[in-house]
Amino acid sequence: MAEVAAQFAKQVESELGKVIVGQSEVIQQLLAALLAGGHVLLEGVPGIAKTLAVKALAALCRLDFRRVQCTPDLMPGDILGVNVYNTASGTFAFRRGPVFTDLLLVDEVNRMPPRSQAALLECMEERQVTLDGARYALSDFFTAIATQNPVEFEGTYPLPEAQLDRFLAKVRINYPSAEDESEILNRYQNGFDPRDLTRLGLATIEPATLAAARRDAAAVKVEATLFRYIGLIVRRTRDWPALSLGGSPRASIALLLMAKSLAAMDGRDYVVPDDIKTAAPPVLRHRLLVKPEADLEGITSDRVVAEILGAVEVPR
């Protein structure tokens, strides 16, 4: 049984509930990606606690946290770091950038120019930085969580498919329900301050517990029939009529890892088909490219994923 992962998920969900009202599905997907060791693209309109959720998660897990506020003039060196010449010694010293951390928030990632977006590719895929021929390892916990606004296009640079594919999951945050919004107002009326999370008395978790929870997730067993099920789902995206681009083998691997994390969070050491179905939308939605004519008809990647899940036979 994946007891450590289940207890970790239960505690984080409980403590995050002191900071974030509702959004249980968002929290579940964030935690599953964190246990899988993957990166997350967090999408939502301004003002719905995207940044707050990431900051609270870092504080809860006692992870080193850095933030990059993306702007059109952001340079790769602003993220990775630079070699600085020391006139006294006549040598260069590497000044590390914010990417050298455990949890990196890349705020408004689509405001970053393509050259700087490309600087993150090696970090996200290989967890290292190569600068002037020298390689620098990143933290074992290194996780990039990038945010973007889905309705703002002025001064933005759409993320290329190669960049999107590096994100294990794309998590969408929607507006809160009427009851949740009332609770948010009530908390603010009673002194809630998102800029000072220490006042909430959050019960933090040791990084060693996160590492153990990740081992639980990695140890989850998967039957051979479920490998085939994952493969069938991803392969159908490659010839689906409404899509011009489907999922790659990396998408299959991401679906496997996300499903294993969801199983571990549920306290199981084995994957069931429902884990794969739950993981499919956040794992696949950003990897699929809807044809222009299908987009005009209102067909979305989420709708395609739902149709594919309905079309592929579930193993018994």
Q: Residue with structure tokens 């959720």?
A: 53
Read off the pLDDT of residues 158-187 as tens digits, 9 standing for 90 and up: 888 888 999 999 999 999 999 999 999 999
- The token duo for 247 is 């999922």
Q: Report the C-alpha gap between 50 and 208 in whole angstroms.
A: 26
Percent of the chain with pLDDT over 90: 69
| pLDDT tops 80 at residue 152 | no
Read off the pLDDT of residues 269-302 as tens digits, 9 standing for 90 and up: 999 999 999 999 999 999 999 999 999 999 999 9
Report the helix count and the strand count for the chain, using DSSP H and E.
Answer: 13, 11
Cβ-Cβ contacts under 8 Å for 113 (sequence gap 6 or more): 72, 73, 74, 157
Q: Is 201 left (phi over 0), alpha (psi -120 to 50) or beta?
A: left
| pLDDT tops 70 at residue 155 | no
Q: Report the C-alpha gap between 241 and 119 in whole angstroms.
A: 34
CA distances from 185 to 18, 162, 188, 190 (A): 14, 40, 5, 9
What residue segments make up the domains of the chain, in order of their start?
A: 3-189, 220-311
**Residue 208, SS3 per DSSP:** helix
User: Higher confidence at residue 197 or residue 167?
Assistant: 167
pLDDT of residue 316: 80
Read off the pLDDT of residues 83-117 as tens digits, 9 standing for 90 and up: 888 887 778 888 899 999 999 999 999 888 888 88
- Cβ 261 vs Cβ 237: under 8 Å: no
**3-189 adopts what CATH topology?**
Rossmann fold (3.40.50)
Q: Is 312 exposed, middle or buried (0-12, 13-18, 19+ CB in 10 A)?
A: buried
The domain covering 220-311 belongs, at the CATH homologous superfamily level, to Magnesium chelatase subunit I, C-Terminal domain (1.10.8.80)
User: Higher confidence at residue 193 or residue 152?
Assistant: 193
DSSP state letters, 8-75: HHHHHHHHHTTTS-S-HHHHHHHHHHHHHT--EEEE--TTSSHHHHHHHHHHHTT--EEEEE--TT--
The verdict on pTM exceeding 0.85 is yes
Q: Report the C-alpha gap between 289 and 117 in whole angstroms.
A: 20
Q: Report the C-alpha gap between 123 and 127 in whole angstroms.
A: 4
Output the average pLDDT for the chain.
91
